[in-house]
Amino acid sequence: MLEKQESYSSIELKEHGRVQLRKTTKIIEDGNALSESHHREMRYPDQDITDLPDNIQAVINAYWTQDVKDAWAEFQQQANDLVD
């Protein structure tokens, strides 16, 4: 019987409040891993993270203090000012 297992295998806290996540997907048959793949995604302080597992949300919320959120908003405003 085939089984698909997904888990977050890495959380990296980046500059400007960005968080990079690595999700690992394994296909298992009879206890043996047939394949393993990785997908990376970025999350930003102005994004909703309620779709993530509770333990991942806890790490991100600990990082995203109000100071980090304010710095992200300022960074975004500066980037928008350059474009205008």
Higher pLDDT, 57 or 79: 57
| 81: pLDDT strictly greater than 90 | no
For residue 65 the two structure tokens come to 């203090």
Count CB neighbours of 19 within 10 A: 21
Regarding beta strands 19-29 and 32-43, do their DSSP bridges make them parallel or antiparallel, or are they unpaired? antiparallel
Tell me the pLDDT tens digit for each residue of 24-68. 999 999 999 999 999 999 999 999 999 999 999 999 999 999 999
| 79: pLDDT strictly greater than 90 | no
For residue 3 the two structure tokens come to 């089984």
Domain boundaries, the chain: 2-83
| 9: pLDDT strictly greater than 70 | yes
Question: How far apart (Å, rounded) are the C-alpha atoms in residues 58 and 28?
Answer: 29
